[in-house]
A and B are shown apart, each in its own frame.
Chain A
Amino acid sequence: MTVIVREKSTDSFAPQAEDDMLVCRCEEVTQGDIRTAVHAGLRTFGEIKRYSRAGMGLCQGQTCQRLVRAVVAAQLKVPAGEIGRVAGRAPVRPVVMKELALSTEESEGVDDYAE
């Protein structure tokens, strides 16, 4: 893991023309939100996700991952590879609870939840 030294930023936040642009559509996180997170001291994808919710929605960052990395990398002036990736989380697609409840065949009470 890259060593990162974090100290108080002395620069003030500089708004950009495209800050209103949506980057994470699922959670409606804008470029400005992500740049604000970086300015606040967050550096990795995991940190920016926890701070801004980018990548936490229905598609789990499948759509916005590259964009988030690009915005962060541009602001920090580092290669996108140093930002890290969004963590893969099960399930790959949203699953209705009663369907998960059925996934052990001999589970008790299955009939209660089956349609």
Chain B
Amino acid sequence: MIMPSSSVEKRTADVIIIGGGVMGCGAAYQLSKEGLSVIVLEKGELCAGGSGRNAGGVRQSARDVREIPLAVHAVQNIWPSLGEELGVDVEYVQKGNLRLGRTEAHLEKLRGLVDKNIEAGLCLRMATGAEAREICPYMSEEVIGASWCPTDGYANPFKTAFGYYQRALDHGAVFITGVTVTGLGKVRGKIRRVSTDEGTFEGESVVLAAGYYSRAIAETVGIEIPVEREDEEVFVTERLPPMFDQVLGTAEADFYGHRTKHGSFLLGGVSGLQHFTSNHEGHPTEAYTAPSLVRAIIGFFPAFANVKIIRSWSGHFDTCVDGVPVISAVDEAPGLTIACAFSGHGFGISPAVSIAIKELVMDGKSHTIDVSGLRYDRFTGSAD
């Protein structure tokens, strides 16, 4: 029901979750399923920040080793059956990820990533240019090698976030959108209060999963999260006959993308200029970006030259200073759990993160999945 703000009656719950993206919706599902009462507060629409603007990669390869336990847990234990669990088709496809190289320096970089990932227990390898073209025959001869992780894939971020949302509603969670959180407050040394432009909410625990905006909210209780906005764009092609289902990336990060169940391709990336030209708010697309991406894509995949682009959009990553998220309880602020700064690769691990958040809230630590490398207090200045 759409109601005037004065009629927001429910203001206390076991858990207040800040952020209505895939992380907040996932956490709401896990916690409400355990029988806890949950209120989710979102300043805009649901699934409209990073969750509504990303291309949906479900990737383990080329991740920092601190994130790999989350990625592997998600791919091995959750993604294959998530659609069944949520009762929606999350459009999960597991046909592998190719990260392409055009120069010897690229291959050197890819080999470094592969070695680190193998050390962390991931199953992937280097492929020659010919092997890569055998996997995905549409690539040009420019590709001289690639990393190949056959268990990577993609899914639909909207279907996933809304699936979590619907099942959380079924378990009694309440979602309030159009409410902007302005700060956190303690009661007897414990985080309890959430102040908003529509009054105060109170919970036994608070989960902060508001992307980049988590930074300002955490600051109100003296916690600094070194995270910045970084704009990216994605465009979508017309619907095409089946070509290939591998997720693509490049050593240079010229572009990334994959086919969708709908039949269109999602292709994303940056021009390199947007950090200095974008105003961040309102998510404008930049004149430089699509042409720059298109030139890279046609170089790798000449068959795309005659394909039409239907629309494009932009969004921002919540990029952490060290490129991996903060998923952590907070010693100085008992009752607060932070899950933000996913740095552009949060969606693929989101089902695992929802479990880590649930355990951090309920037990104070994540015992199913090791997130010890993602604590909020890991940062030290370069002058140390």
Contact = CB atoms under 8 A, between A and B. Distances in A.
A87 B52 CA distance: 12
Contact of B295 (A8, A44, A56, A107): A107
Given A5-B174, A8-B170, A113-B305, A47 B46 contact: yes
Contacts of B198: 3
A14 interface: no
A58 interface: yes
B327 interface: no
Interface string A88-115: 0111001111101111100111001100
B174 A100 contact: no
B308 A7 contact: no
Q: Which of B176, B177, B292 has the most CB of A within 10 A?
A: B177
B383 interface: no
A96 B311 contact: no
Contacts of A4: 1-3, 176-178
A102 B295 CA distance: 8
Contacts of A53: 262
**Interface residues of chain B: helix, strand, loop or mixed (majority):** mixed
Interface residues of B, number: 54
A74 interface: no
Contact of B313 (A87, A100, A101): A87
B238 to A, nearest CB: 6
A10 to B, nearest CB: 11
Interface in B16-54: 43-48, 52
5 contacts: A3-B5, A5-B7, A6-B175, A41-B175, A60-B310
Given A2-B2, A42-B162, A89-B313, 16 more contacts: A1-B44, A1-B178, A4-B2, A4-B3, A5-B7, A9-B169, A41-B166, A47-B162, A56-B236, A76-B1, A90-B311, A91-B311, A96-B307, A97-B304, A101-B298, A104-B288
